[in-house]
């Protein structure tokens, strides 16, 4: 018999989300049902609600989550009921050309659950990033469950399921930040601040935070920013150059996902420097850069998928650092809320009032 639980659903573009009864099937082969304990409210969920990712409504929102395994399906190994897990939306297949070349963080055939969760009337739901975790129990592919120490609070551990991992990974994995580097981060929300934290942990000598909100810039200092630039009152490209001896930063991380801020990142980097796009653009966005500048400035223009992380490698390591008081993941949690407060949390996120609202179940 399916589990009958409460979850947050987006029924149409721009419509306020609603709390609905959702039917979650027993896990089939290669699947697991997880008791969700906490799930962060991520900007990607708002993108889903607004139709910025696809129009496959209704969406079951939520994806940045942690909880315990309720049940596993046939053929699942290395995972059993009671395990404390962080959910990930890039469960590597181990068989595609990226995996076989030893680059599983680029896996081109990631796994999701085969069965569908539905509303009571049988309407199939599209789970956000293949997870759908604003829900008391959710069905995922077993590979989407990454075991970590149960000593970590779920509201902290779940943040690695998306935003914090994306930011830390953008700096460390994609950007390759290392000791002595100069780094600029444009956009100081949850992902941007995580990138600042990652750059600081990697030993960057200078970490420049750029935003239009002084409150966010102050938060960025708490995660390791050595300098801040309010781009409402100063040209961020010139400011970053001034702070780096006129050269530009070794690595510039764009955590907004807009053409104008990407262009700023492009021109704020040093010659042969690296630009990392981790902010999520919408399908209509375009960039227009002189091809001669792309050629002449050298370096690398990269996008960062999920911080180019490998969950089985990175999640346990980062949780261990948190438990050793070396990674302040708890500073990202601005508030804890209930399932019925997600719509309100979207408003707070849009207004820049919080780093992360976290649903606790």
* b/e code 187-196 from CB counts within 10 Å (16+ = b): bbbbbbbbbb
Position 116 scores a pLDDT of 97
Instruction: Pick out the chain residues at pLDDT < 70.
Output: none
**Residue 3: how many CB atoms within 10 A of its CB?**
19
Position 198 scores a pLDDT of 98
Position 166 scores a pLDDT of 97
For the stretch 78-84, contacts whose Cβ atoms lie closer than 8 Å and that sit 24 or more positions apart, written own/partner, are 78/147, 79/32, 79/142, 79/145, 79/147, 83/145, 83/147, 84/147, 84/148, 84/149, 84/150, 84/152, 84/154, 84/157
Position 109 scores a pLDDT of 94
Position 1 scores a pLDDT of 84
Position 226 scores a pLDDT of 98
């Amino acid at each position: 018999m399916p589990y009958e639980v409460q979850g947050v659903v987006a029924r149409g573009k721009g419509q306020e989300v609603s709390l609905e009864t959702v039917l979650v099937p027993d896990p089939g082969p290669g699947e697991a049902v997880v008791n969700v304990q906490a799930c962060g409210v991520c900007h990607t969920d708002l993108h889903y609600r607004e139709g910025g990712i696809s129009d496959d409504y209704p969406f079951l929102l939520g994806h940045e989550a942690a909880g315990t395994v309720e049940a596993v399906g046939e053929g699942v190994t290395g995972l059993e009921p009671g395990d404390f897990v962080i959910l990930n939306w890039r469960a590597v297949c181990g068989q595609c050309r990226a995996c076989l070349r030893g680059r599983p963080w680029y896996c081109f055939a990631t796994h999701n659950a085969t069965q569908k969760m539905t509303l009571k009337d049988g309407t199939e739901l599209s789970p956000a990033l293949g997870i759908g975790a604003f829900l008391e129990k959710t069905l995922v592919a077993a590979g989407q469950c990454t075991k970590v120490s149960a000593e970590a609070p779920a509201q902290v551990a779940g943040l690695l399921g998306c935003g914090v991992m994306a930011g830390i990974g953008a700096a460390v994995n994609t950007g390759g930040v290392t000791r002595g580097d100069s780094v600029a981060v444009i956009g100081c929300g949850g992902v941007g601040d995580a990138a600042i934290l990652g750059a600081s942990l990697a030993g960057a000598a200078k970490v420049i935070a750029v935003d239009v909100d002084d409150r966010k810039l102050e938060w960025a200092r708490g995660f390791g920013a050595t300098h801040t630039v309010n781009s409402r009152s100063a040209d961020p490209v010139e400011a970053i150059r001034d702070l780096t001896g006129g050269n530009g930063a070794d690595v510039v991380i764009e955590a907004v996902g807009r053409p104008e801020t990407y262009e700023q990142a492009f021109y704020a980097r040093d010659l042969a420097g690296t630009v990392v796009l981790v902010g999520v653009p919408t399908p209509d966005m375009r960039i227009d850069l002189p091809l001669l500048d792309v050629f002449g400035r050298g370096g690398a223009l990269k996008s960062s998928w999920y911080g180019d992380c490998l969950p089985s490698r990175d999640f346990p390591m980062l949780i261990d650092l948190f438990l050793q008081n070396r990674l302040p993941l708890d500073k990202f949690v601005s508030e804890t809320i209930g399932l019925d407060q997600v719509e309100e949390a979207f408003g707070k996120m849009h207004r820049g009032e919080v780093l992360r609202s976290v649903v606790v179940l």
